[in-house]
Amino acid sequence: MRLVTRNFNRPTTTSFPSLWNEFFADDFFTKRAAREAKACRAVANNRYHNVPAVNIKDRAEHYFIEVAAPGFNKSDFTVELDQGTLTISAKKEEKKEDKNEGEGYTHKEFVSSEFKRTFTIPENTVNVDKIEASYEAGVLVVSIPKKEVEETKLSIDVL
Residue 121 sits in a domain of what CATH number?
2.60.40.790
Question: Within this chain, do residues 79 and 123 fall inside the same structural domain, yes or no?
Answer: yes
Please check whether residues 89 and 19 belong to one and the same domain.
no
- Considering the domain boundaries, does residue 133 fall inside one? yes
Residue 103 included in any domain: no
Contacts of residue 122, Cβ cutoff 8 Å, sequence gap at least 6 = 84
Please check whether residues 21 and 39 belong to one and the same domain.
yes
Q: Domain range for residue 76?
A: 54-96+111-145
What average pLDDT does the segment 69-87 reach?
93
What per-residue confidence (pLDDT) applies to 47?
Answer: 47
Within a domain: residue 7?
A: no
Give me the chain's average pLDDT, please: 78
Query: What is the percent of the chain where pLDDT is above 90?
Result: 37
Predicted TM-score (pTM) of the model is: 0.59
Do 18 and 72 lie in one domain? The reply is no
Q: 28 pLDDT exceeds 50?
A: yes
* % of the chain beyond a pLDDT of 70: 63
Q: Which residue has the higher pLDDT, 83 or 41?
A: 83
Q: Does any domain span residue 3? A: no
Say what the pLDDT of residue 12 is: 54
pLDDT for the residue 65: 96
What is the rounded average pLDDT of the residues 4-15?
52
Q: How many CB atoms lie within 10 A of CB 117?
A: 15
100 close to 27: Cβ distance less than 8 angstroms: no
CB atoms within 10 A of CB 20: 14
